Structures are given as C-alpha cells and as structure tokens.
Amino acid sequence: MLKIVRMLRRLFRTLFLKIRGKWLSMTQFYATDEQFMRQALALAQQAELAGEVPVGAILVRDGRILGSGFNTPIASCDPTAHAEIIALRQAAYAENTYRLEETTLYSTLEPCVMCAGALVHARVKRLVFGARDLRFGGVRSKFRLADNDLLNHRLEVVEGVLAADCLRLLQDFFEKRRS
C-alpha cells in the first residue's frame, strides 16, 4: 500500500509543481520556463553586443531571479567567466551560501563540463537549456554530468526550450565572425 501511495505522489509531482506556495500544472510551468528563457536570451544578446559568444543564464528560486549573467571570458580575461558560472556566483553571494538548493538554472546553451560540475556542486535542482552544444556539451551532447548515477546529486534536465531562437542567435553570431 505504501508503494502505491509513493507512486501516486510521484505521479502528482510529475504533473504538477509547487511554486510560491501554489500548485501549477506542467503546462503553466513550461510557460514560466519560456518566460525565463526569454530573459536569458536577452542576456545572450548583450554578450553578442560585447563581442562575446552569445550565451545567457538566469538562476531562479520560487519565481525570483537570484543571479544572472552572460559570457564575458574575453572582456574579463577569465576562462571561467561563462554565463552559468556568473549567475551561480551572483546567487551564492546574494544567498550567502554555495548551496543553491531548490533552484532552476536557465541557459540558452547546454552547459559545458565545467558549468555542469558547478551546477552539481551547488545542488541546483533543475537545468533548463535551449540549444545543445554538440562540441562541448557537458549535460547531454558529449557527457551526462548533470544526472550521472556516479555523482551524489542529480539535476532534472529540460532541454529544447526556445531552442530555435537560441540556436539562431549562436549561428548568426558565428556567421558574422566568419565573414
């Protein structure tokens, strides 16, 4: 009987999620994912204007943005200045802890191995990304770090949110650089 109750609870949690004390259906939840991804895309456009690879990231808890960032490794002369790392640093500083539990990170591009490792260490609950990174992807494309059974923490991964917009931004950026 207890197994049945647990199964029903899991099923309910896969159909509904609690945000800010309110239960949302998955349809409503993914609409929220798109809203935050649009904000991450706006950050990616700022990176592009600065001559950086256009990647943006936002870290959210209960509908509130804790940290945000876009790629700045060239301007900052810092190879770790990826959008995801900057968002994690801002959030950790704001929350006064490196443990960022019950948060969701929105990134326009699949995180690299460094960023995926940082997400695991920070105990981020969910990762939502737009486009896959076929060359350096650390979550789905090359490695599966975010939900690897060998690690002590696994993230829920949602991919493909506004993927066409995210991919177009990257393709346009690299096309301009080549010409």
Q: Is 104 strand, coil or helix?
A: strand
- Give yes or no: 34 in active site: no
Contact (Cβ atoms closer than 8 angstroms) between residue 131 and residue 166: yes
Angle between helices 163-178 and 26-49 (to 10 degrees): 10
Q: How many CB atoms lie within 10 A of CB 89?
A: 18
What SS3 state is found at 124? Answer: coil
d(CA 165, CA 157): 19
Length of the chain: 179
- Active-site residue, selected from the candidate residues 84, 102, 156, 175: 84
Active site residues: 84
